[in-house]
Structure 1
Amino acid sequence: MDNTSQSDIRISLEDKEPSWYSRTTRWFSLRSLSATKANLFGCSLGFISTGYQYNVISLLNVIWSIEYTQYYTQSVETRVNNALLYGVLVGQLLFGIIADYFGRKVSLLITSTLIILGAILATAAMGANNSIQGLFWALTIGRGLSGVGSGGEYPCCMPTNSEDGDALSVEKRGRRIALLGPCIEMVAENVVTIVQIILLHIFGTQSSQLEPTWRISIGLVIIPASIVFVFRLCMKNSRLYERDKSIRRRFPLIVVIRSFGWRLVGTCLTWFLMDSIYFSFLTFGADILANVTGSSLMHIAYYQLVNMAWIPMAYLAAFLIDRVGRKNILMFGFFTYAVTLFLIGGLYPLLYGKPAAYLVLYIFQGMFQILLVIPIYLIPSEVYPTVIRSTCYGISAAFGKVGGIVGVQFFLPIANAFSSSQSGYRADFLVAGGIAVVGLLVTYCCIPDWTKISLEKEDDLFWKSVDEYETKHNRPKSHCAETSE
């Protein structure tokens, strides 16, 4: 066949309008998947795993206290709850460095593998000779391993979303990052509650019927994690990362400290303060509901569905983040969060036994809390140059998990320090309100507003400052991607 005939056939095929089915299957086909689409799915869907694992433990605390009443003591509960947070802390620090030096794609493939392995271990947890203590140690190890993988998601996914978003539109970068990260995580946190309610209806709520519910609850995260792994095989490092890698060389640490030290203090402290509150109420929220309502396990599960009222606020914050500004939303969030926590703490004795009144205030508390989550997740992905973006993001997020560990560690001791659980939980809310006030002050003093500022231009300014420092101190330029002391 001659060239003219081949051309005519090709044109006629291209002119033919593809069906809706063919367009859809082509868009999702891994063989034709572009790096942009792979990055979008590989990063955004990873937050399903993290959000699911964070909230799965809340109702499981109540389930385990019913099924293993004499074994699930305060120390065991704290250990199991903290296992994920300790793992997340390690993962954020470790993969922040790996992502900057070896690339986001390699790091994300490893994190997916760790999440899957940890979930398998926790789902199949067994103690030697059917020991209940051994069962909870196996759960602790499994959740800790998953935590390392989940922690690595943050310094890999958020900077990638930020860098890809900057290439598409600087003006709409914040909205893209928020929608592809914390908003998805927020939805996943509520999906797990629906899953657990369905499982409780299927298997029952008696102590002898609860084991399938908690094992399946933990194990279901394997499905989204496996799907994400496939997408990540098709990912590529962002254009901004590859551009920076081509010009990367040794740079003096003093330049980083002078330029970004104060920002790092701000991003670390705000995340620390938020997570110290957030993970405390996320972990023990079902316990508080049980205290206020005195309800059955199934009623507590349904009460937790009120968290779904928070989701619209997450999307509202995402669409306002570029118009109002990151810093303004964060300050407003800390202020309203503090007011709501003080209000619940002050009125807690009056709310006792009145679940409807408590749930109204609880919904507002969660909604204002979301105004913190969106900018706190977003800001560290923007305010640092590409060469150290994942590392600084990992450090900031790790400080957050330290705050979460501290909050979870001291939440029950504070509550138990009082003569009644009613007074103890009231104290927890009042302390949390004070922490939110400190967060407001830290935001005002330490957080820059990076709304609509190009990441690429900031990279150029960073390397320019490195050049100026080396010229001033007569230091030779090196093309090794390392940090000099």
Structure 2
Amino acid sequence: MFGALPAALTYYWRMKMPETARYTALVAKNIKKATQDMSKVLQVDIEVEERAEDPKLNYGLFSKEFLRRHGLHLLGTTSTWFLLDIAFYSQNLFQKDIFSAIGWIPKAATMNAIHEVFKIAKAQTLIALCSTVPGYWFTVAFIDIIGRFAIQLMGFFFMTVFMFAIAFPYNHWILPDNRIGFVIMYSLTFFFANFGPNATTFIVPAEIFPARLRSTCHGISAATGKAGAIVGAFGFLYAAQPQDKTKTDAGYPPGIGVKNSLIMLGVINFVGMLFTFLVPEPKGKSLEELSGEAEVDK
């Protein structure tokens, strides 16, 4: 019952918020209402400025004009989000399996349930505090300095580098003396995921598309990303099974093993880096400039 309270409060306060001025002016075509809303929010008097509508900018999602202007952009945002979530969710959901495989935490069969939960929680908390959380704060600090494109490209690049660095010499890292090195480099893949595409793939689709299609394109990109999460969650679960069928978990067929699965994730990160080149750099530009809505007839 109490769980419904945050949702109810969110709904109440959302209903009190005015629609964004861009939507009201550019989509609802009510410039007067948009001006009034902005005056209320900014607490200043703003004069209404009527402007003629450019019919060339009134194109739909399935139009040739959208394909010409933003087709590659949408391909870039959907593909990078899809590829990121395959790799990111695979790494996140199966940390315990990877850490058990290298011997950083004991096998589940050697612990009781409470001890297992404690060990896994401690390992995942350490990864989060040392890599995941700092990665987000680095993005916050540098996103308007070096830009979304550079952060995403750099993130995919270093995710690829560190994934290959732990995958190819995998047999070296599982030795007892080398496990800490494995954990450090594995943590760096999370750091550059968050100081990289795990932040920018959410931000960029909200900036580069026209106001009337912005939410739709962002939703398409996000839905494609969640499809990647499904692929990553189920795919890694099966792929990481040992090739020897006598060593697989109960009910699972033989897979390609942890080493080959990590190599595959490295390849996915590399492909994500390539698709990043389809995404424009929004840094320092207004939403109207990015979407082409600020174009002036010559």
Cα distance, 1:222–1:350 mapped onto 2, change above 3 Å: farther
Do the aligned residues in 2 keep the contact of 1:294 with 1:353 (CA within 8 Å)?
no
Aligned twin of 1:340: 162
Whichever residue aligns with residue 135 of structure 2, its letter is M
Deviation at 1:284, TM superposition (A): 1.9
Asked whether 1:450 is paired with 2:282, we answer yes
Whichever residue aligns with residue 269 of structure 1, its letter is S
Which residues in structure 2 correspond to 1:237-248 (within 5 Å)?
237-247=19-29
Asked whether 1:302 is paired with 2:122, we answer yes
Q: Select between 366-375 and 408-417 the one with higher mean Cα deviation.
A: 408-417
Percent identical pairs in the alignment equals 28
Do the aligned residues in 2 keep the contact of 1:415 with 1:424 (CA within 8 Å)?
yes
Deviation at 1:457, TM superposition (A): 4.1
- Report the TM-score when normalising by structure 2: 0.74
Aligned twin of 2:187: 363
Deviations 1:449-481 (A, max 9, x none): 11111113455x44869x99xxxxxxxxxxxxx
- Counterpart CA distance in 2 for 1:413 and 1:288 is 13
- Counterpart CA distance in 2 for 1:389 and 1:265 is 14
Deviations 1:341-394 (A, max 9, x none): 111212333333745333222211110111211211111111101010000111
Which residues in structure 2 correspond to 1:144-293 (within 5 Å)?
224-247=6-29, 251=59, 253-292=63-102, 293=105
Deviations 1:250-301 (A, max 9, x none): 6352211111101111111111110111111222222323333225331111
- Report the TM-score when normalising by structure 1: 0.47
Task: Select the residue among 406, 412, 431 that pairs with 2:237.
Answer: 412
Asked whether 1:388 is paired with 2:198, we answer no
- Counterpart CA distance in 2 for 1:282 and 1:223 is 30
Deviation at 1:226, TM superposition (A): 5.0
Q: What are structure 2's unaligned runs of at least 5 residues?
A: 30-52, 108-115, 249-254
Do the aligned residues in 1 keep the contact of 2:288 with 2:294 (CA within 8 Å)?
no
Aligned twin of 1:439: 272
Whichever residue aligns with residue 227 of structure 2, its letter is V
- Counterpart CA distance in 2 for 1:261 and 1:423 is 36
SS in 2 for 1:449: coil
Whichever residue aligns with residue 304 of structure 1, its letter is Q
Whichever residue aligns with residue 264 of structure 2, its letter is V
Do the aligned residues in 1 keep the contact of 2:77 with 2:201 (CA within 8 Å)?
yes
Task: Give the helix-richer structure, 1 or 2.
Answer: 1
Do the aligned residues in 2 keep the contact of 1:290 with 1:300 (CA within 8 Å)?
no
Whichever residue aligns with residue 294 of structure 1, its letter is P
Cα distance, 1:282–1:238 mapped onto 2, change above 3 Å: same
- Counterpart CA distance in 2 for 1:297 and 1:223 is 30
Deviation at 1:332, TM superposition (A): 0.7
SS in 1 for 2:16: coil
Q: What are structure 1's unaligned runs of at least 5 residues?
A: 1-119, 121-219, 469-485
Whichever residue aligns with residue 21 of structure 2, its letter is R
